[in-house]
Structure 1
């Protein structure tokens, strides 16, 4: 028989243990998350009264706050041949030179001017005995034409000679990316590590690269955010601003993935809303998501048995909350003891930089027909934490206190 004093002590310890493992208070948020006024309408509180409603409201709620695309609608762009979102000229089309590029100048039978040249830091091609020729942002054909005129003007040739100006190697380009991207910053694009150089390609005449394309710069800046206005991406070069329509990068239609040069400035405007149709892998979206996870629930007794890494888990862009919860090993197990789990999502509004915490009951999400309406898309840097069910908490108390403590609690 347990002495009265010991019984009281055990009961007190048990009550403290139960209080410690009870459900935490609901997280507070600065933004009106519960009403659907946060970055994603999918964050809002679950509406119990419309459980069987087949219509999904979140995309409509998200779209209500969108401002019209700066470049006009896709229908308007198609009607005028795609010019609604494109006001560039030939200066952006084709392969253009940037400082540091290696070119090969060939004049048949001429050893004075023929040779390899590097575009100088000032963006010019410097050939012996000739004035520097502007090359930055121009094609080899344009530079070659100026070169032939300079040879005639300098009395080195009576008539314009036959020349060939070929790119042997494209140098990396340093550009700035700002606006509705996840990591606005200067980025370096193009170039390959020395151990990845294709020697046969290097020995061939001419060169080509996809590494200096606009889409590469956007990916290197973290990818475009779901609020980005891809109808009017601004590219500033040499004091002139061009407007590019990149919506084709997301919907699988052609788009002008122009080559960038050092000094280019790229700005992605925002539509000030969350666009569900941008949450998919594309040439301009994040390559993936580094997701922070914490799982200390049953049936897994720790992070290592759950295959949860020490820091982050990589998931594809477009992954949703419930997919990550399954990946977190927070779903399934014994219905009597493990079903009533919940998982909290920690995110941040990329437009306002304000944090948000959303918690969902796993079984509620599993059983609702309109689960997609409350299943948020995950963003880079998000974190997830899985909480034990109430039965699991009591079981843990019994395990810690032992049979005597558990029986004492029940008396």
Structure 2
């Protein structure tokens, strides 16, 4: 008997858990979305008097059909609009119930603006699904294509558009706020390979990526939530007045300081002159404006490539500069003295490439 009670209690708990699960949103409409309405039997009616046409959700979130009151569309699904339209047409006496056949199909998804905050590289308002219109300038009689898949109107793409997540992002507790509703989404499957519920967005949605106290560097790799490559400023100057060695390099996201040092040609060469070279990493938080300077021995970077304290992960728009060794600096001093006593060499350097 006790076993039966335990089983029933467990069943009730399971049902209750299912009943209070957070609802998932389908792909709802936003201002600017375009729908194609087909009403059967209108072929013999003059085109100017037909209900069949292409309609667009207005800025106020409503669709205006001829002779009818506006129908709310923003935040709702196409099937709901179709039901409201059928009801309005019947109540208005435009069609008999037995002869009314209506079909509303999605023709084109519009670009929308959402806000992204928290542990992302470029927080703020972003425009997503900013694609060229496939039929906005076509007459209604021609623009009959229906159906559209907007991969850029989903949660993961909005986060990526905001620069992607930082290594200290809590991707298991991403918050999506829509009006008075809020949903918490676990996006860890983007990195683990487990299923991910990628939520479709509407205009005005707010996304908040919580911040962890400590960074998780396994997040620093190309993914749906992070950039494939990042720009890094590299400088390797023996003579600081020569700007030819300053450049912007695109590196794979997740690369470390040692890889930038190699890309800047700071590693290798004669051991006597180059073994004591040093590298300087400048990281600026674009949100706070705070700049962090990290100096490392090139030799340490080569010997301890897996030490995160010695060899940190590069972030977007980091700056890496290489300093010459003591031997090279002494050589530069003697070269400078030689230039003073031999000005002809300076003239050659200026006029002879």
TM-score (norm 2): 0.80
User: Pick from 202, 207, 221: which aligns with 2:148?
Assistant: 207
User: Equivalences for 1:7-406 in 2 at 5 Å?
Assistant: 88-90=22-24, 92-93=25-26, 95-110=27-42, 112-159=50-97, 161-193=100-132, 204-297=145-238, 302-304=242-244, 306=245, 308-309=246-247, 312-348=248-284, 354-368=290-304, 371=307, 374-402=310-338
The match for 2:349 is none
Aligned partner of 2:346 in structure 1 is none
Show structure 1 runs of 5+ residues with no match.
1-79, 406-411
Question: Matched residue of 2:152: which SS?
Answer: coil
CA 1:108–1:223 in structure 2 vs 1: closer, same or farther (change >3 Å)?
same
Distance 1:87 1:235, change over 3 A: farther
2-structure distance, mates of 1:404, 1:350: 44
- Per-residue CA distance 1:170-194 (angstroms, 9 max, x = gap): 1100111111111111111113246
Deviation at 1:378, TM superposition (A): 0.8
Do the aligned partners of 2:116 and 2:162 also contact (CA within 8 Å) in 1?
Answer: yes
Q: Is the 8 A contact 1:295 1:303 kept in 2?
A: no
The change in CA–CA distance for 1:155 and 1:238 in structure 2 (over 3 A counts) is farther
Q: Is the contact made by 2:121 and 2:163 (CA closer than 8 Å) also made in structure 1?
A: yes
Q: Structure 1 CA distance, aligned partners of 2:92 and 2:134?
A: 43
**Unaligned segments of structure 2, at least 5 residues:** 1-13, 342-353
The answer for the alignment partner of 1:43 in structure 2 is none
Higher strand share: 2
How many aligned positions are there? 314
Corresponding residue for 1:71? none
Could you tell me how far apart the structure 2 residues matched to 1:118 and 1:367 are? 62
Classify the secondary structure of the residue corresponding to 2:87: helix
Provide the aligned C-alpha RMSD in A.
Answer: 3.1
Q: Structure 2 vs 1, CA of residues 256 and 345 (structure 1 numbering), >3 Å: closer, same or farther?
A: same
State the 1:287 CA deviation: 4.0
Q: TM-score, structure 1 length as denominator?
A: 0.69
1: CA distance, partners of 2:187 / 2:268: 42
